[in-house]
Amino acid sequence: MFLSDKETHTYFEDSIGMVSDWRKRGPVYEVPFRTLYSKKIKNLVMAGRCTSVTEEMWDIMRVIPCCAVTGQAAGTAAAMSDDFTKINIKELQQKLNRSGVVLHISDII
């Protein structure tokens, strides 16, 4: 969903990074890890334009910076496990954070 000036940022416990709306200055969105894998296929992880998002968010997520954020998270997760439904999200977040990924808006405000 798009955030207006009056809306607040959504925090996701399983955030793997943040993206912005390339069309306008303003909000950033946390990307939950759960948008990168299927609960039905334990060893399939997706990135870039293949992530599971709403129609409104697809236009934001289809651009290269978002593909880089999800690609880094997917690659790191794939190096950690082949069952993404059971991955240790805190460990994944620590690895991403050590690589310079900002996970939550609260980390920069």
pLDDT mean over 70-93: 96
Strands 28-32 and 15-20, by their bridges, are antiparallel
Using the predicted structure, report yes or no on whether residue 19 has a pLDDT greater than 70: yes
CA neighbours within 13 Å on the CB side: how many for 108? 12
- Chain segment 42-53, per-residue pLDDT in tens: 899 998 888 877
Using the predicted structure, report yes or no on whether residue 101 has a pLDDT greater than 90: yes
Per the DSSP assignment, residues forming a β-bridge with 28 are 20
pLDDT class for 3, splitting at 50, 70, 90? very low
pLDDT class for 2, splitting at 50, 70, 90? very low
- SS3 per-residue string spanning 95-106: HHHHCCCCCCHH
What pLDDT does 107 receive?
Answer: 87
Using the predicted structure, report yes or no on whether residue 7 has a pLDDT greater than 80: no
